[in-house]
Amino acid sequence: MELMNTTTKTQYNFPGQTNVYYGKVRDVYTINDQYLVMIASDRISAFDVILPRPIPFKGQVLNKTATEFLNLTRNICPNWFIAAPAPNVAIGHKCDPYRVEMVIRGYCTGHAWREYKSGKRILCGVPMPEGLNENDPFPEPIITPATKAEEGHDMDISREEIIAQGIIPEAEYVQLEKYTRELYRFGVAHAANQGLILVDTKYEFGKLNGEIMLIDEIHTPDSSRYFYFDTYAQNQEKGQPQQHLSKEFVREWLIENNFMGKEGQEVPTMTDAFVTSVSERYIHLYEKVTGKKFVKEETDDAEEKILTVLSKL
């Protein structure tokens, strides 16, 4: 695989450009304070740290997966997306974002399991039952919100704290919960059709002209975790690790190499072989989750295609 075929950072200057923001993964350009040009780079982050090497085609996988599901879920919740002029680019409406990520978990996995294993039985104000093993399902999916940090780590927060602190009005938060559960139900059903289990995911929302909108990405490997259905029960019965279809394997590799994003820790060296394996896992995830063949595309003419769409808005 060609390791040089990556987008690490863009430096565009579009007509009407009023702002540019470089996130952990995406470069976001604001146009006339009305539209966003969101470019999914090939940067990869874990434990809220951008890792030193980009992953080929990762941005295309994220963008194609997200736009696929944004189109499929418009009947559940209105969203920001307008067009995808290039394989790693999405253009949509600029919304006023809520500063909370809506995380929903169907299984005691990842962060939930790390908290549970440490002895905690309440996560974001939500009780977790006794007697769970890693990757066991919760009796019902739980919503565990996190404050969205501009820099550094996102922080767990409870429904009660969100409302009490006035971060989101109660009526609007209730609607966010409703959308979160409906989107997750759709994601679970869609994943089941592909032989997968949607373990957990996060959604981000904003407002446009007083209407709640789904923003950012949805059901991508950066925002979601999947298990393979056909091996899940057997692995649980034997107490074996589940095969993840997510970037959890990157986190696990980092943990094995003594890195969890803590002060003083150094990011381990990412070899060509490891970078290639991550890229292949992302491509496999796209094909498995969407049921479509991944086509590797060039992004050299992205700027021209973006300008064509913007000229019509």
> Among candidates 78, 16, 6, 68, which has minimal Cα distance to 39?
6
Per-residue model confidence (pLDDT) at position 3: 47
Across the chain, which distance is largest between two alpha carbons, in Å? Answer: 59
Q: Which H or E run includes 180?
A: helix 170-193
User: Can you read off the two tokens belonging to residue 305?
Assistant: 């295609």
Whole-angstrom distance, CA of residue 164 vs CA of residue 168: 9
Whole-angstrom distance, CA of residue 71 vs CA of residue 190: 13
Residue 123 has pLDDT above 90, yes or no: yes
Per-residue model confidence (pLDDT) at position 245: 79
User: Can you read off the two tokens belonging to residue 68?
Assistant: 């696929």
Residue 238 has pLDDT above 50, yes or no: yes
Per-residue model confidence (pLDDT) at position 248: 76
Residue 217 has pLDDT above 70, yes or no: yes
Per-residue model confidence (pLDDT) at position 51: 93
Domains of the chain and any CATH numbers:
97-245 (3.30.470.20)
Whole-angstrom distance, CA of residue 156 vs CA of residue 144: 7
Q: How much is the average pLDDT of 105-126?
A: 97
pTM here is 0.88
Per-residue model confidence (pLDDT) at position 99: 95
Whole-angstrom distance, CA of residue 51 vs CA of residue 154: 17
DSSP E strands in the chain: the ranges are: 17-22, 26-31, 35-40, 45-46, 49-50, 81-86, 89-93, 96-97, 100-107, 122-123, 126-127, 137-143, 146-147, 155-156, 196-208, 211-215, 224-228, 244-245
User: Helix, strand or coil for residue 21?
Assistant: strand
Residue 214: exposed, middle, or buried by beta-carbon count in 10 A (0-12, 13-18, 19+)?
Answer: buried
Residue 1 has pLDDT above 50, yes or no: no
Per-residue model confidence (pLDDT) at position 151: 57
Residue 244 has pLDDT above 90, yes or no: no
Give just the sign of the alpha carbon dihedral 229, 234, 237, 238. Answer: negative
Least confident piece of the model among 185-199, 207-221, 295-309: 295-309
Per-residue model confidence (pLDDT) at position 148: 77
| Mean pLDDT of the residues in the chain | 93
Q: How much is the average pLDDT of 208-229?
A: 93
pLDDT digit string (tens) for 185-195? 999 999 999 99
Q: Which of the two residues, 299 and 29, has the higher pLDDT score? A: 29
Q: Where does the pLDDT of residue 2 fall: very low under 50, low under 70, confident under 90, or very high at 90 and above?
A: very low
pLDDT digit string (tens) for 140-182? 999 999 997 665 567 999 999 999 999 999 999 999 999 999 9
pLDDT digit string (tens) for 60-82? 999 999 999 999 999 999 999 99
Q: In this prediction, what percent of the chain has a pLDDT beyond 90?
A: 82
Contact at 8 Å (CB) between 305 and 299? no
Per-residue model confidence (pLDDT) at position 4: 54
Least confident piece of the model among 92-106, 191-205, 215-229: 215-229
